């Protein structure tokens, strides 16, 4: 932008009357911008707003864009929601088809007489005539077995602690607990 030349200053011998500093006009446009950048950094909102000029065509187009957004946003939200529901239903259909396939394979296995015989022997302990079946109980690993309980003594032993503080600790703990314990 070209800078506007500054108005000539009145010389002492000129015939123009001098104006008071408060009556002088404020510089506008680029002169005001350079004055602001040179001195303070404040922005005059009225000057900025007066620079915005909207034609009737611009206002109509802006209102059409706002109206279009107002109409299309809910439609777009509905479209996205329906697409998500369709994807969830397609996934549900895929899971159901996988289950159907697994059940059909299971049905084919039950059509085999050897599979039926194996299942009857394992689940129901059926045997053919003349066969002897041996069932083994406690076929656990000895390391997995519970430890044997030590012998119980016949003598009575007295505990070294006093029973009254133990009773008070138990009652206090029961009163301050959050949940109640139900005995089986």
pLDDT tens-digit map of 18-52: 554 444 555 555 555 555 555 567 777 777 777 77
Structure tokens at 50: 């007066």
The structural domains of the chain, with segments of one domain joined by +, span 26-110
10 Å Cβ neighbour count for 131?
8
- Mean per-residue pLDDT, 70-77: 86
- Cα–Cα distance for residue pair 74/70, rounded to 1 Å: 7
* Residue 5 CB contacts under 8 Å (≥ 6 apart), including other chains: none
Are 27 and 33 spatial neighbours (Cβ–Cβ below 8 Å)?
no
How much of the chain, in percent, has pLDDT values that exceed 90?
25
Q: What is the pLDDT of residues 122-156, one digit of tens each?
A: 888 888 899 888 877 777 777 777 777 778 888 88
Share of the chain above pLDDT 70, in %: 73
Rounded-to-integer distance, Cα 166 and Cα 159, Å: 12
What is the rounded distance in angstroms from the CA atom of residue 132 to the CA atom of residue 169? Answer: 62
pTM: 0.36
């Amino acid at each position: 932008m070209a800078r506007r030349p500054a108005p000539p200053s009145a010389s002492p011998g000129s015939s123009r009357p001098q104006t008071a500093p408060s009556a002088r006009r404020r510089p506008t446009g680029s002169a005001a911008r350079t004055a602001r950048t040179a001195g303070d950094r404040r922005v005059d909102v009225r000057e900025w707003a007066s620079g915005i000029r909207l034609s009737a065509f611009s206002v109509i187009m802006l209102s059409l864009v706002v109206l279009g957004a107002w109409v299309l946003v809910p439609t777009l939200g509905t479209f996205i929601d329906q697409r998500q529901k369709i994807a969830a239903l397609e996934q549900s259909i895929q899971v159901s088809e996988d289950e159907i396939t697994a059940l059909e394979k299971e049905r084919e296995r039950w059509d085999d007489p050897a599979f039926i015989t194996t299942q009857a022997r394992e689940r129901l302990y059926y045997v053919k005539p003349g066969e002897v079946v041996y069932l083994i109980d406690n076929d656990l690993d000895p390391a997995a077995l519970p430890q044997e309980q030590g012998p119980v003594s016949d003598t009575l032993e007295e505990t070294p602690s006093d029973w009254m503080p133990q009773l008070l600790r138990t009652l206090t703990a029961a009163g301050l607990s959050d949940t109640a314990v139900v005995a089986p």
